[in-house]
Amino acid sequence: MVEEGDAIENQRKKDKKKLEVEKSKKMLASAIIWVNHFFSIYYGMRG
């Protein structure tokens, strides 16, 4: 019973870590898009 509980707990930790990785990837992607957008507007106004 204890081993089963540990296995479930470990799986839960892995899933949580996976979710955090996905979230940070999405944040990074949106940050890159935002920066690109900002620079294209900035250089568009200058040029």
Tokens of 3: 């081993």
- Amino acid letter at 46? R
pLDDT higher than threshold 80 for residue 47: no
CA distance 47 to 45: 6
- The label of the residue with tokens 């898009």 reads 33
Each residue's pLDDT tens digit, 3-42: 889 999 999 999 999 999 999 999 999 999 999 999 999 9
pTM for the structure as a whole: 0.60
